DNA sequence: GACTTTTGGTTTGCAACGCAAACAGATTTG
DNA sequence: CAAATCTGTTTGCGTTGCAAACCAAAAGTC
């Protein structure tokens, strides 16, 4: 009935879609491709981690901290279920 | 970028999809087909009216009050734009 | 070597929101 | 005439998304 609230939020849906198509993406890549603010990206990605949909990996590249993300198996499953539920609602009408 | 927040809420999206496929629907019809609580249906439909997406018509059928709804032209436009924006995000996946 | 700026993020504050429960007003039933 | 039903609306509250503030380290700049 309801959609997965974690994924349904537009910013997070877009994060998930990008992560689904890529082995791994770092903070700045997501920041520039999705045009979010740093604060929002941080919080959304944290929420996705809390749900077990993405993994966060922090390393140093030289002296610079670098945070990168990858989608988990759970995340992929949830994302595909999400699209299924969207399709169901869409079939309610003729659009 | 973001979706139309009025429509993006699942309950409202489903209300819109039902109304899009029907000349007009009353409160109880929506209540039973969508399985919402009365309170939630009332509030969501009020919000859709506030956005100009739905018209509300109140009449008496005999002695019983009856509230019915129909989607407006604006509402249809917004709904179809909504699905377009969903499709755009979906295409982020299979490049 | 002391500033300012930039980089890479996290935390905080707040207004808006969705949800369930309470409420209201009229009607029917026992 | 009290209780239950019907048709909705309003209220209260916990959650959330967003922007702005913050922080720490690195890199320029003078």
- Label residue B46 exposed, middle or buried (CB < 10 Å: 0-12, 13-18, 19+): exposed
- Residues lying close to strand D (Cβ under 7 A), chosen from 51-70 of chain B, are 58, 64-67
| A16-29 pLDDT, tens digit each | 999 999 999 999 99
Domain assignment present for residue B80? The answer is yes
State which nucleotides on strand C lie below 7 Å from a protein beta carbon: 7-12, 17-22, 26-28
CATH number for the domain harbouring residue B20: 1.10.10.10
Domain assignment present for residue A82? The answer is yes
Output the pLDDT for position A95.
55
Domain assignment present for residue A40? The answer is yes
Per the structure, the residue whose CA is closest to nucleotide D6 at C1' is B64
Longest dimension (CA), chain A: 55
Output the pLDDT for position B94.
57
Domain assignment present for residue A12? The answer is yes
Interacting residues of A15 by C-beta distance below 8 A, sequence separation 6+: A30, A34, A41, A44, A45, A48, A54, A69
What token pair was written down for A67?
């945070």
Domain assignment present for residue A36? The answer is yes
This prediction has a pTM of 0.91
Distance from CA of A21 to the nearest CA of B (A): 6
Output the pLDDT for position B95.
45
The DSSP element (H or E) to which A46 belongs, if any, is helix A38-50
Domain assignment present for residue B95? The answer is no
Domain assignment present for residue B94? The answer is no
User: Which residues in chain A touch residue B90, judged by CB atoms under 8 angstroms apart?
Assistant: 17, 83
Interface contact flag, A92 B1, Cβ < 8 Å? no
Question: How high is the mean pLDDT in each 10-residue block of chain B (95 residues)?
Answer: 93 97 96 95 97 96 93 97 96 70
Range of the domain at B19: 7-88
Output the pLDDT for position B89.
95
Domain count, chain B: 1
Domain assignment present for residue A95? The answer is no
Specify the DSSP class assigned to residue B29. Answer: H
- In chain A, which stretches have pLDDT less than 50? none
């Amino acid at each position: 009935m309801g959609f997965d609230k974690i994924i349904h939020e537009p910013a997070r849906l877009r994060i998930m879609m990008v992560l689904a198509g890529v082995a791994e993406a770092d903070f700045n890549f997501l920041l520039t491709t999705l045009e979010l603010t740093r604060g929002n990206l941080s919080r959304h990605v944290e929420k996705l981690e809390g749900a077990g949909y993405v993994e966060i990996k922090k390393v140093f590249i030289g002296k610079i901290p670098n945070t990168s993300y990858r989608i988990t198996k759970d995340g992929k499953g949830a994302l595909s279920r999400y699209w299924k539920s969207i399709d169901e609602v869409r079939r309610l009408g003729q659009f």
